[in-house]
Structures are given as structure tokens and as C-alpha cells.
Structure 1
Amino acid sequence: MARPWRVAIVGGGITGLAAAVRLRDRAPTGTEITVYEQSGRLGGKLRTGELAGGPVEFGAESFLMRDPAGGESAAVTLIRRLGLAGSIVHPTVGQAALVVDGGLRPVPGGTLVGVPGDLDRVAAVAQPAAAADRDGGAPLLPPDADVSVGALVRDRLGDEVVDRLVDPMLGGVYAGRADDLSLVTTMPALARAARVQHTLVGAVRAAQAAAPRAPGAPVFGTLAGGLSTLVEAAARESGATIRRDAAVRELHPTPTGWRLTVGPTREPEFVEADAVLLAVPARPAARLLAGPAPEVATAVGGLDYASVALVTMALPEPELPELSGFLVPATEGLLIKASTFFTTKWGHLRRPDGLALVRASVGRYGDETSLQLTDDDLVATVHRELSKVLGTPLPAPVARHVQRWGGALPQYTPGHLGRVAAARTALRAAHPTLALAGAGYDGVGIPVCVRSGETAAEEIITALGGSAA
């Protein structure tokens, strides 16, 4: 009788846990799955905490309900698989604002991550250079080409659209700048349309038409019990052995698979596995790949990351607008790059005691000196800037929390997906039972990370001889 497979997953974030669930569902019965997490906590950037006696997210707060093609997102599918669909809730307030010239203006509708499909609708925020978006008789983007989002939009619609709309929206997601971020990676639907359409406005409209949203259909969701319930359910349903505080330090190929060196240098543990799935950020992955696949390690290790801090305050009965929050263009000169009014946006978090939970995000790629401030100084600065933007002094917080995420958000420069594809092809050719997954390769957001983990799990199953299904 054949020996059961042994699969090691390095990384206990949602990517690694989604991979473990997929392996449990699709791999042959008896497959031994072990998840190694170097910290004492599963979930990666999914972390539900408590502030002033109530729940709050200290990391990611929501997931997209749909995938780019218009179907159910991978996050929603996993949530259904885990029996948590009944816990999905949606924002009760969806309107957000932009800070423009020191004041709040509603985020205009009809845009694709800030890129307008109707120039008139964004005129109150930014004046597009409409004359530049002429039909030149050829598609905007040649086949297989990639450019930065900022380069394309500046060329077609001018600086104001980038600085006041696109840049703050991308900054809110990636903590990066539109002029540095890959169009193909961060806005794939627009990139596909740009290979056919001759104008940027036409490309936006085509991308929107390709994935229509039913009127009133929610864009975002979260779980009433907090996103940590997703982490807990995935760990439980995977049936995997979970090893916390277990750093994998080295990875060596063997005649039958892999040998992992786990734990401290003075007391290493050596573990044998038939396959390994690396679900860790690019730099830790590169260190593990340095021995078995040095060229892949070099390619993977070149990815850079931005660090951010999330400052959450519990404010007694503040005067807040009926908004989900606001985004701040870098040109406004504020430390804050985005803010969320949690107890306004999410009705299930509203409290009878009148406390409001407000969170602000701090830190932009290439300008992270603000993160060197102490927690007290960060809170004081955020409180002062919020009061300034809202035009009214906010009450002193009764509780606050500062969550620092060092090296949290990948920065995808043009050509990123091509480089990742080449690295994976080389890795697959040399070591088919070693796979890469995670935000560093495929994009940010819970659905993308879930899909990345599941895809890598399928690759492992194929390499080991096929699924039981």
C-alpha cells in the first residue's frame, strides 16, 4: 500500500490555510498536511482584536464579493465551504470621500480605481485633460506590454486625475504610488481592455461592461464575528497539524522529496516531506529558495514592500459625517493616507454607548519616516489631522491601538507578472513538488490570496500524482 503524502505548508496566513483546505478536499485520503507558522498567531494580516470592549480589525477589514469576471470571489467560495456564509455582512454606508484642498468631497462614481469612464462625473474633484485622450488608431497597450498606472493615466487624462483620484485609491490598497505600480498587476481588467481600446475612457467603459454588477449588489463583505473566524475555521477544517512558533530556516531537496530545517539554530528539527508549498512573503521565500533554486531566489527576492501603521481610536460620541471614510492624496501633505469610520461603515459594529471606532492608515512606500514616530506621537498626529479634515475638534480617545505592519504590502512594478511567471516556470521545471503562493506573487486582497493558495495546492497535487476526485 502506498505511503500517504506528506505536504509541508510554510506560512500560516490565509494563503497557506486556503491551500491546506484545498489539499484536504482534493488530495488522497490520508494525506498528512503540516502548516508551519514562525509566529505564535495564524492569519497573517487578518487579525481581529478588541478595543474599548468591542471587536475591531487590526488588519484587513473586508473582502471583495466578486471576482474580476463577475462571479463569486474565491474568498466567498471558501467562506461557504467553511460554513460561514451566514455570517457575511456588508457595509451599511458605502459612500467614501476624498480630501481635496483640505476638505472632503465625495468619491465620484463611474471610475475604475479612480480612472474615469465618464469625465463629467469627476470634474468636481479633478479636471481631466480630455483632449489628450484621442483615438490614435491603435490600442493603448501593445500585446504583452505593461506600464505603470500613473504613466498611462497622466498621458491620457493629465496630472490631476492621477494625483487626486487614482493615486489615493491605489495608495489606500498598496501604500504605493500610481507612477510606480504595474497596470497589469493592479488593474488587470483595464489592462485587458487597453489592449483592444484606443482611448482610456473607452477602455474603462469596456472593462466595466465586461464584469457588470447588479444594481444594489454589495461590493465588499466581512464576517460578523471578525475575519479571525475565517482563519480559525480554515485551520480547523483543513485537518492540518498546525505548528506555531516554528520557523522553517532551510529547505533541501532529497531523493524522495524535501528536508526542512525547523526551529532554533542550536536545536534544529529535521522534517521530511514529499512536497512543500511556500506561502510566505517574497524575501523569506527567497532565503529558503537560495539553496535549491538560486536563480528563482534572486528573481523572487527582488520584490519590494511598503510598511504601514494602522491607528484605531475609540471616540466618545464624535461628530462624524455619514461616510465610510476618506482617502488622502499625497499632495495634501498629511500623514494620514486613509481613514475608516468603522462604526459608521459597518452597522453590526455600532455601539449603544455612543463610542465610535475610527481607524487611520499611515505610511507610503518610499516615505516611511512617519513610522518612526512613537505610538503616542502617531495617535496624537492622527487625532489632530482627523480633526482638521473634519473641521471640528474630535473628543479625546478613551482607548487606542497602534498596529504596525512592517513590510506588509508588495510593490508591483511594471512587468511583475511576467517575472513571476518566469520564476514559477523555472521552479516547476527544476522542482515540481515546490510551489509558491501569496500576495507577493499574485496580488493583494483576501480573494487573490485564497485563489493563489488553492492554485498552488492543485499544482502540488498534480506533481504528486493527481487528486482523489
Structure 2
Amino acid sequence: MSDFSVVGGGVGGLVVARRLAASGATVTLFEASDHLGGTVARHEVGGIGLDAGAESFAVRGGGVSALLGELGMQEDIVAPAPGPAWLQPVTGTAVPLPATALLGIPSDPLADDVVRVVGLAAAEQAALLDARPVDDVPATLGALVRGRMGDDMVDLLVAPVVHGVHSQHPDELAVARAHPGLADAVVSAGSLGGAVARLRAAAPPGAAVAGIRGGINRLVPALADDFVRRGGDLRLGTRIDHLGALGALGGTVIVAAPGVAAPAAPGRRIDLVTLVVEQDELDAAPRGTGLLVAAGAPVGARALTHATAKWAWLREAAAGRHVVRLSYDETPADPVAAAVADAEALLGVELPIVVDAAHVFWMRPAAASVPSEVVAVGETVAGSGLAGIVAHAERTAADLLAR
């Protein structure tokens, strides 16, 4: 009999299982498929080993960096190239994102780089709305920004940024999940713009995200190897459809797989097309490290990452070629052809030589409402993003051990 059974071998399941095993507990991890990591995966495109899912993590909280340090990967943490991301607005050419913003929310709605995106009328309306006294803070980020800065600020600027970071529309994203200190900062500052200015000033210097030399996917085998080294029992290809299947031999059960403890709500499909191209004009990184795309823009992609401009290690591995990643909320009829056309439109550069391309997709699970007696980790309860998933899994392990 195990002290703990973990159902699901995504990053959340691996982190909680490893932490419990490190305490000396006996832990069995069950994964239905033949591989671990969930959407954190690897593939080869043009002979280059690349991330097939997440390619960075938020540095806030320091949880992911601390975990990588424990796994002996501290020296492999890398920062992206400096410089702003870009935005493809509904009309016109791409522009750099406003410099003094948080999730696209500007500290100064009347700043030139904000006006360039939303227009002068919308910027002036935002300044007037945000000058009103603060009564309360709505539950969702969209409602907060709409009330304090207007619809155009949400639709034209905040929505594409939030979608790129959280894969959710701000109208669906809880304020606390978007930024845990935002609600209190709005109340204390007396305005949304003032809250953004305070939070940005309090943030540590440097990039908000980091990566791993060789790809984020390296985290998965490192976690699995350390779990097994600490005595963990890893069982691939073992499906657990309901918790009763484990019986009394499972000990305390931690669910890290959608739908095991409660019916899974329909998730959202996300498609990723990766292109390896030859084009010297991209050496100058004409759109920095990539673009976010406003809804209604004349391309199907919702975001583009110029990965070889973003990561020095990848630029070296690509040996003069360029890696471009495009993500989609709606699957194109011909994903590769659509990605090439969208990349040319967004980058403003023709791509006549496509060395190789790959199309993958995954289902992003909806938030789950699990019974109170069930211990759950992973994206369904912690939200998207490695920082949140790792932090939640570590807290869950600590709570279980404290019992």
C-alpha cells in the first residue's frame, strides 16, 4: 500500500509526487498514456529539438526557479532577449506593446504608445473613467478594466495580451488569478492606472519570464528521474477512470487528471504550428521576439513567437535558420499553409524557403469544480502557466505532509 497515489503525470502531478517522495513517503504515480508531462512536450522540427507546448515560465514567486535549482538545472535558466513584444491591431501595421503596462493595462492611458493602439478618443475616455473614485473591484479582469478604462481598452489592447498569457479572455479571467495583488492595489491607489504603476515599480528588475536552455520540456524527465530516484513508483500506461478503482491500497489520492474526480467540462483546443525557415531578413527581428494579435485582425493566428530571436540558445542551435511558432484558437483547414501566410503578414517578410514544419494541438482543460474531499492539482484547479501549477502543487504537498 502506498501512502499517496497520484493520478495523472502532468507537471502538477509530477511536482506533488516528487515532493511527497522526497519527504520519505511511499508514492505511486499513475499515468494513462505512455509519456509524462501533458502539454509540456518535445518534438523535432528541421532536426532541432523544440518545445511542442510551453516555451517559457513566469518568474513571479520564484517557485519554478527554486524547483529547477533542486533538480540541478539552475545554470540552465535563461532570460529572453530584451525588448517589447509587439501587437497586431485590428487595422494597420504591427506596433510595440505599451512599455508601462501590466497584462496590457496601461499605467497612463494617454501615453503615446497606448494612443497608437486604441486611439485618442478611447484613451481620453479611459483617463476620465479611471479618475472616478473606486467603489469595489469586480470579480473578473474584463469587468474591472471595462469599468475603469472602457470597452476599447479591453478589446483592442488588454484582451490580446491576456489571451497570449493566460489563454483566456479577460471577461473570463478572475482578477485574483490574473495578478494576486491587483485588487488590493486598485483600492489603495484609488485607480487602475495607479495600481499598475505601483505593481510595476514593486516588481523585481529583469524579464517577467524565463526559459530553460534546450527547452522547457527538459523539466519533465528531470522531475520523473528524481521522483524514481527518491523511491517513487512510476506506472505509465495505467488508466484510472475513477477513484474507487484504487481501493484502500491507494492511500491518500491526489488527482492530477481532468475528469477523474468529477465530470470534466469541455476544454478548448489550441493548435500550434512551428516553422523552420531560411530568410536573412529575419536576422534583424523586425517584430522583436513576437506578436500578439487582436481579435478581428486580418490573420487567423492569435500569437506569433519568433523563437530564434527570443532565445539565444535556440539561435545557436538553428545555425542561421529561424524558428517561428504560431498558435491558433480555431484549426485552419491547412495549418502549415495558413501559418506561412500569417507569418508573412505579421512579420512583413516573405518566407519562400520553409525547411520544415510541424502541427500539434492539445486541449486546454476548463476550470474544474472538484468535491471538497478530493485533493487536486494541475491546470484545472491552478490555472494555466507553469508558475501557478508548480506553486499550487508545492503548497498541496506541504499541506498533505503537515497533516
| 1:380 is aligned to 2:315 | no
Q: How many Å apart are 1:339 and its aligned residue?
A: 0.4
CA offset digits 1:309-355 (Å, max 9, x no partner): 00001111253334100000002142100000111110111146421
Q: What fraction of aligned residue pairs are identical, expressed as a percent? A: 31
Number of residue pairs matched by the alignment:
388
Q: Which residue of 1 aligns with 2:395?
A: 455
Q: 1:395 aligns with which of 352, 359, 364?
A: 352
**1:170 Cα deviation from its structure 2 partner:** 1.0
What's the offset of the Cα at 1:160? 2.5
1:317 aligns with 2:285: no
**How far does residue 88 in structure 1 lie from its aligned partner after superposition?**
1.0
Match of 1:24 in 2: 21
Say whether residues 1:338 and 2:315 are aligned partners: no
Stretch deviating more after TM superposition (41-50 or 92-101): 92-101
Query: Deviation of residue 96 (structure 1)?
Result: 1.2
Cα deviation for residue 272 of structure 1 reads: 1.3
Contact residue 114 and residue 166 of structure 1 kept, 8 A? yes
Partner-residue secondary structure (3-state), 1:332: coil
Unpaired runs of 5+ residues, structure 2, are none
> Normalised by the size of structure 1, how large is the TM-score?
0.77
Candidates 219, 239, 244, aligned match of 2:236: 244
Indicate conservation of the 8 Å contact 2:8/2:255, yes or no: yes
For 1:251-262, list aligned pairs within 5 A.
251-252=243-244, 260=246
Paired with 1:50 and 1:306, the residues of 2 have a C-alpha distance of 25
Within-5 A mapping of 1:86-235: 86-100=75-89, 101-119=91-109, 120=111, 121-127=113-119, 128=123, 129=125, 130-136=127-133, 138-141=134-137, 146-209=138-201, 211-214=202-205, 217-235=206-224
Quote the offset at 1:13 in angstroms: 0.9
TM-score, with length taken from structure 2 = 0.89
Q: Secondary structure at the match of 2:9?
A: coil
Query: Runs of 5+ in structure 1 lacking a partner?
Result: 68-72, 253-258, 261-269, 288-300, 364-369, 428-433, 464-469
Instruction: Render the CA deviation track for 1:216-254: whole Å, top value 9, x for unaligned.
Output: x232211113222211111111232111111101212xx
Could you tell me which of 33, 37, 50 is aligned with 1:56?
50
Identify the residue that residue 325 of structure 2 maps to in structure 1. 359
- The 1:333–1:178 alpha-carbon spacing in structure 2 relative to 1, beyond 3 Å, is farther
CA deviations over 1:259-291 (Å, ceiling 9, x no partner): 51xxxxxxxxx781211111123x34314xxxx
CA shift in 2, pair 1:335/1:179, >3 Å: same
Query: Over residues 392-419 of structure 1, what are the superposed CA-to-partner deviations in whole Å (9 max), with x where a residue is unaligned?
Result: 321241211111112x1546xxxx9xxx
CA distance in 1: counterparts of 2:278 and 2:55, whole angstroms:
22
For the 8 Å contact 1:319–1:394, the answer to whether it is kept is no
- Match in the other structure for 1:75: 64
Asked if the contact 1:140/1:198 (under 8 Å) is kept, the reply is: no
Once superposed, what is the RMSD of the aligned Cα atoms?
A: 2.2
User: Could you tell me which of 269, 274, 293 is aligned with 1:328?
Assistant: 293
Give distance in 1, aligned partners of 2:328 and 2:18: 34
- Structure 2 distance, partners of 1:171, 1:284, is 28
Moved more, 310-319 or 184-193: 184-193
Cα distance, 1:93 vs. partner?
4.1
In the alignment, what sits opposite 2:6?
A: 9
Map of 1:444 onto structure 2 = 384
Q: What is the one-letter code of the residue matched to 1:452?
A: H
CA 1:241/1:346 → structure 2, altered by over 3 Å: closer, same or farther?
A: same
3-state SS of paired residue (1:285): coil
CA distance in 1, matches of 2:183, 2:191: 12
2:55 and 2:212 map into 1 onto residues whose CA distance is: 9
Structure 1 position 453, deviation (Å):
1.3
Distance 2:365 2:223 in 1: 23
Contact 1:174 1:410 in 2 (8 A): no
Q: C-alpha separation between the residues in 2 aligned to 1:212 and 1:222?
A: 19
Distance (Å, rounded) in 2 between the aligned partners of 1:190 and 1:410: 23
Q: How does 1:249-328 map to 2 (within 5 A)?
A: 249-252=241-244, 260=246, 272-281=249-258, 283-287=259-263, 301=264, 305-320=267-282, 321-322=285-286, 323-328=288-293
- CA–CA distance in structure 2, aligned partners of residues 223 and 107 of structure 1: 25
Cα shift at 1:380? 0.7
User: Residue 347 in 1 paired to residue 312 in 2?
Assistant: yes
After superposing the two structures, state which structure 1 stretch, 41-50 or 452-461, moved more: 452-461
Q: Distance in 2 between matches of 1:148 and 1:449?
A: 20
Task: Find the aligned partners of 1:328 and 1:182 in 2 and give their Cα distance.
Answer: 22
Structure 1 pair 397–151 and aligned structure 2 pair: CA distance change class (3 A): same
Question: Which amino acid is 2:305 matched to?
Answer: T
Q: Is the 2:214–2:314 contact (alpha carbons within 8 Å) kept by the matching residues of 1?
A: no
Once residues 366 and 99 of structure 2 are traced to their aligned partners in structure 1, the CA distance between those partners, rounded to angstroms, is: 27
Number of the residue aligned with 2:38: 44
Secondary structure, aligned partner of 1:196 = helix
Tell me if structure 2 keeps the 8 A contact 1:102–1:389: no
